[in-house]
Structure 1
Amino acid sequence: MPFISLLSLFTTVVLAYAAKVDGSININPDAHPWIAPGPNDLRGPCPGLNTLANHGFIPRDGRGLNVSVILDGGFTLAAKVSLLATNDPLSFTLDDIKLHGNIEHDASLSRVDFALGDNVHFNETIFSTLANSNPEADVYNTTSAGHVQQARLADSEAKNPNLTNTDKEFFIRSAESAFYLSVMGNPLTGVAPKNFVQIFFREERLPIAEGWQRSETPINASTLGPLIGTISRQSNWTAGEGCHWVRLGPNDPIVRF
Structure 2
Amino acid sequence: MSLYQKLTKPFIDIFVLTWDFNLFLLNLVLPAHEPTDVIPAGAPGHAGHWPQYVAPKDSDSRSACPMLNALANHGVLPHDGKNITFRDLNTVVRQSFNFAPSFCFFVPKFAADFLGRSYWTDRFDLADLSKHNAIEHDASLTRHDAALVPDQGRPDLQLVDELLSGATGKMQDGSPQLTKKDLSLALAKRRSAARSTNKSYTESFFHNGFGSANSSTMLTIFGGRVKDLEPMLTEERFVDGWQPRILSKFGLTMAAFNGTVVPVEIGVKRAKVE
- The TM-score, its normalising length taken from structure 2, stands at 0.69
Instruction: Identify unmatched segments of 5+ residues in structure 2.
Output: 1-5, 24-36, 95-103, 171-175
List per-residue Cα deviations over 1:9-35 (Å, max 9, x = no partner).
9xx8xx9xxxxxx95535235563322
- Say whether residues 1:67 and 2:89 are aligned partners: no
- Say whether residues 1:109 and 2:128 are aligned partners: no
- Say whether residues 1:50 and 2:50 are aligned partners: no
Structure 2 counterpart of 1:77: 106
Residues 168-179 of structure 1: pairs in structure 2 closer than 5 A: 168-179=206-217
- Say whether residues 1:146 and 2:184 are aligned partners: yes
Q: 8 Å contact 1:84–1:102 — kept in the other structure?
A: no
Residues 212-223 of structure 1: pairs in structure 2 closer than 5 A: 212-215=242-245, 217-218=247-248, 219-223=252-256
Structure 2 counterpart of 1:19: none
Q: Once the 2 structures are TM-superposed, how far is the Cα of residue 115 of structure 1 from its aligned partner?
A: 1.4
Residues 20-35 of structure 1: pairs in structure 2 closer than 5 A: 23=38, 25=40, 27-28=45-46, 29-30=48-49, 32-35=51-54
Q: Once the 2 structures are TM-superposed, how far is the Cα of residue 174 of structure 1 from its aligned partner?
A: 1.2
Residues 1-257 of structure 1: pairs in structure 2 closer than 5 A: 23=38, 25=40, 27-28=45-46, 29-30=48-49, 32-73=51-92, 74=94, 75-84=104-113, 86=115, 90-120=122-152, 121-134=154-167, 138-185=176-223, 192-209=224-241, 212-215=242-245, 217-218=247-248, 219-236=252-269
Q: 8 Å contact 1:199–1:206 — kept in the other structure?
A: yes
Q: 8 Å contact 1:82–1:96 — kept in the other structure?
A: no
Q: Once the 2 structures are TM-superposed, how far is the Cα of residue 135 of structure 1 from its aligned partner?
A: 5.3
Specify whether residues 128 and 215 from structure 1 end up closer, same or farther in structure 2 by C-alpha distance, changes over 3 A only. closer
Distance 1:63 1:42 in 2: 6
Q: What amino acid is the match of 2:56?
A: P
List per-residue Cα deviations over 1:61-83 (Å, max 9, x = no partner).
11111233223324443333333
Distance 1:70 1:34 in 2: 19
RMSD over aligned CA atoms reads 3.1
Specify whether residues 220 and 81 from structure 1 end up closer, same or farther in structure 2 by C-alpha distance, changes over 3 A only. closer
Q: Once the 2 structures are TM-superposed, how far is the Cα of residue 45 of structure 1 from its aligned partner?
A: 0.7
Q: 8 Å contact 2:38–2:243 — kept in the other structure?
A: no
Distance 1:157 1:237 in 2: 18
Q: 8 Å contact 1:178–1:228 — kept in the other structure?
A: yes
Q: Once the 2 structures are TM-superposed, how far is the Cα of residue 98 of structure 1 from its aligned partner?
A: 1.7
Q: What amino acid is the match of 1:117?
A: V
Q: Once the 2 structures are TM-superposed, how far is the Cα of residue 196 of structure 1 from its aligned partner?
A: 1.2
**Bigger CA radius of gyration:** 2
List per-residue Cα deviations over 1:161-188 (Å, max 9, x = no partner).
2111101111111112221111111xxx
Distance 1:214 1:86 in 2: 29
Instruction: Identify unmatched segments of 5+ residues in structure 1.
Output: 16-21, 186-191, 239-257
Q: Helix, strand or coil: the match of 2:138?
A: coil
Q: What amino acid is the match of 2:244?
A: R
Moved over 4 A (4+): 84-89
Q: 8 Å contact 1:112–1:119 — kept in the other structure?
A: no
Identity %: 23
Q: 8 Å contact 1:184–1:196 — kept in the other structure?
A: yes
Q: Helix, strand or coil: the match of 1:215?
A: coil
